[in-house]
Structure formats: C-alpha cells, structure tokens
Amino acid sequence: MHCQVHIDQMTYCATLLCGSDRNSRVGWRDQDVPLTLVGRVAPTNRSGWRSMLVPSNDVQLVDVAKTIRDKQIKWAQHRRISLNSASATSKVPAAYVQSLEDNLFQALDRETRAEFNAGDGRELDGHMRAVYSSSALACNVFAFWRLSSSDFLN
C-alpha cells in the first residue's frame, strides 16, 4: 500500500510493507530509494527492495485512486467544467462531464470512435465521461500521434 512517511522533517512517498501500533516498515525498490536515505535503508527479504523501520505515527496511508480522482475534479472545476454524478445513488463525488468532448483535447475521429464502439467496455456509454477515465487519458495522449501525418512520425 502506498504511504507518505515523515523522516527528519521531510516527507517521502514509500510502500508500507508491514506495520503495528508502534512501528512500521516502509520500503522502496532499489532504484527508487531517496538519495537522502540511501545510507539508512537496509536490504529486505524481497529481492530488489530496501526498507527501514519508522514510528507508525509518522506513516500516513495514501489512497492513490482517490488522490487522482480528487485532482481531476479540481482540474475540471478550475476550467469551469460542469460535473455530474455517475448515478443518483452514487457514493463517489460528482466527477462526470456532461459531454464527452469536455473530457478530450480533441474530438474522437471516426476510426477511434468505431474502435470504442466495437469494444466490450461500453466506454462511450458514459465511462469515458469520468474525469479520471483511463480511456479518455489514452485518447488525449495518443490521438495526436494517430492523427499526425506519417511524414511527421518518420
């Protein structure tokens, strides 16, 4: 589980490996150990990982999905994009744009729309209107490359 850990008045992102009321073991993959902690972490029984024991009071769990959703909601609010809930009984905060185009940098081309319609995920039926939609993210990232001339890519 992802966590933030406070060590020497600094905050680090880490993985909570195990914990108790008093102490928690937090860790990083070898290549992700913060430079300021390199001499203070020890190898673990997990290959390629290093860890250290810290007071549990200094560890705060992070819900990554909620963090992403909240940041995307703030993005939409900043752009004055109106948001709705997925349904009247939804327990998730309003995070759906009214129009799919509000969630995309550019409108879907015919070929991409046909591919989504042929898929099993029913993304165009509403899922893709969520500001945290991975499908919308993929379209926003890759549509430019798909629609660019082949000369540009060569």
Per-residue pLDDT of the chain (154 residues; tens, 9 = 90+): 899 999 999 999 999 999 899 999 999 999 999 999 999 999 998 899 999 999 999 999 988 888 888 888 998 999 899 898 876 666 667 889 999 999 998 889 898 899 999 988 888 888 899 999 999 999 988 887 777 755 555 5
Rounded to 5°, the CA angle 64-65-67 comes to 65
- Residue 145, phi then psi, degrees to nearest 5: -70, -35
DSSP code per residue over 55-114: EGGGEEE--HHHHHHHHHHHHHHHTT--EE-SSTT--SPP-EESSGGGG-SSPPPHHHHH
Distance, C-alpha 27 to centroid of its chain: 20
Residues 82 and 24 in one domain: no
Q: How far is CA 71 from CA 34, 66, 100, in A?
A: 25, 9, 19
Residue with tokens 């999905």: 65
- Expressed as residue numbers, the domain containing 13 is 2-61
DSSP, collapsed to helix, strand or coil, labels residue 30 as helix
- The pTM score is 0.60
Residues 53 and 77 in one domain: no
Q: Of 44, 61, 78, which one is at a domain's C-terminal end?
A: 61
Q: What is the pLDDT of residue 37?
A: 95
Number of domains composing the chain: 2
Contact 48, 26 (CB under 8 A): no
